[in-house]
Each structure stands twice: as C-alpha cells, then as structure tokens.
Amino acid sequence: NAGVTQTPKFQVLKTGQSMTLQCAQDMNHEYMSWYRQDPGMGLRLIHYSVGAGITDQGEVPNGYNVSRSTTEDFPLRLLSAAPSQTSVYFCASSYKRGQWAPLHFGNGTRLTVT
C-alpha cells in the first residue's frame, strides 16, 4: 500500500537549472496537489489538478509548471531554479477536491537552490 510516492527525497540545484519533482499515487484519487513548506509559513498551495488533463494554479504558482497526463502521476517542474525556491515540497492527493476530503501526503522533497 504505497499511497503517495515522491522522488527524489533530496536535491541540490544551482541557480538557473531545471528539474522535475515526481509524484505518483496508487489510490485512484482525482485530486492531486503540490505544496511548499517554509519555516513560519506553513504549507502553501502551488498547483493542483482535479483529473487527468486538468490543472490550475494555487497560491504561489510562479516559477513552477505542472501537468497531469494520467490519474496516477503529477510531476512538478522548476524551469529555472532560484534560491527563493529552496523549500520542502509535498505532493498530496485526495479522492475528490472539496471541503470534506482530507489530504494524503507524500514524504516530501527537500530542495536546495544555491
């Protein structure tokens, strides 16, 4: 019972480099999302998806792209990394987008941009 799987666990990038954070879930959840966690700021929503082929922006989308080609996968792309993107990134999913749906989280990716 894998749940939400994120890779890699740790990553160091230089400013301007690009990379993709992977997220996969095996619970057939419609809703998937990406959050970043920063000290003193809690978790902030970057992008989300309510199903394959459908994505939308969250609270802090700038500098990030997403796509949802399958129900299972929701990768997050950093096109040109900046030090301000140093953070811990969590992928989360739920069976549906809505008030009543608790989120299931992955183990996180700790990203450092130098």
Handedness of CA 98, 40, 11, 83 (dihedral sign): positive
Closest distance of CB 15 from other proteins, Å = 27
Q: Are strands 31-38 and 19-25 parallel, antiparallel or unpaired?
A: unpaired
In the bound state with other proteins, the residue whose beta carbon lies nearer, of 41 and 79, is 41
In the bound state with other proteins, the residue whose beta carbon lies nearer, of 13 and 46, is 46
Which 8-state DSSP code applies to residue 62? T
Closest distance of CB 35 from other proteins, Å = 8
Closest distance of CB 13 from other proteins, Å = 22
In the bound state with other proteins, the residue whose beta carbon lies nearer, of 1 and 102, is 102
- Which residues contact other proteins (rule: CB under 8 A)? 4, 33, 35, 40-45, 48, 58, 90, 92, 97-103, 105-108
Q: Catalogue the E-assigned strands of 1-114.
A: 4-7, 10-13, 19-25, 31-38, 42-51, 54-57, 64-66, 76-78, 87-94, 104-105, 109-113
